[in-house]
Amino acid sequence: MGKVEVRTPGFSRVLEMGEGERVCPKCLGAVVAAGTKGDTFTGPDVDGLYITVCRECDGGRQRQCPFCGEWSAHPALCRCPGRHDAGKARRLAAEIAKFDTAQHLTVEQARAAGIAYVYFPGEDGDRLVEIGDIEWQADERRGDWKDSRPLFAWATIKEVLTLDADSIIENACEPLHEDARDNIGAEAEGELQVLLNAWCEKHGKYCDTYYPDHRRAVIVPASEEDADAS
């Protein structure tokens, strides 16, 4: 649109307007109000006008949401159904793009590879499920895939609790004399590592964490409903 001059009593400014922007109808580009001496806005020795911030615009400009047509300071934050659906479609497209370049596994192949859990991407965040539940979980998540059944779930990478003897010894020796770490040899470090490994195996089983592995996708078996439809 170019430059637009906006005026209010005792104040004027020029706004550079872009496509799909307008001057805020609430503040007309700037909210201007009378200030008094000692006012919080103007300071102790100032009389006259001060500019406050308008909550309905961004520097005097409003932009229009391309989905619902509402004007606001930041239409990217609009919560209208159209923007929600568009964002959902973009996220789904990104997941499918990653799927196209991933290795595809059947459920049997995934089990043989030691994959015990899979991740279904969705609106409420990735959902971790046991691989044995992959079929009925796919039915539960139809709404995340435009009311169709998900075609795949991501394989997972398992992270377990580990404690490193070298790091523990290094940290423990830090406040000691400068040769303290050198006085603990490889054999002693290995002895501690054996103890740490046994401790982690005994107490760390509930710390296991699974992350989506976007290099491998597990294909969801076709349901009877899908087979009948085809």
Place of tokens 């406040």: 175
Task: Say whether 70 sits in a helix, a strand or coil.
Answer: coil
Task: Say whether 141 sits in a helix, a strand or coil.
Answer: coil
Phi then psi dihedrals of residue 11, to 5 deg = -155, 140
pLDDT in tens, 78-95: 889 898 888 888 888 888
pLDDT number for residue 228: 53
Place of tokens 């501690």: 192
DSSP label of 57: S
Determine contact, residues 111/131, Cβ cutoff 8 Å.
yes
pLDDT number for residue 87: 83
d(CA 133, CA 16): 56
DSSP string, 150-184: -SEEEEEEEE-----HHHHHHHHHTTS-TTTGGGS
d(CA 207, CA 163): 13
- What are the residue ranges in the chain where pLDDT is below 50? 32-46
pLDDT number for residue 48: 53
pLDDT number for residue 224: 63
DSSP label of 68: T
pLDDT number for residue 146: 60
Place of tokens 């934050």: 77
By CB neighbour count within 10 A (0-12 exposed, 13-18 middle, 19+ buried), where does 152 fall?
buried
pLDDT number for residue 124: 53
Determine contact, residues 74/30, Cβ cutoff 8 Å.
no
Give Cβ neighbours of residue 230 (< 8 Å, ≥ 6 apart): none
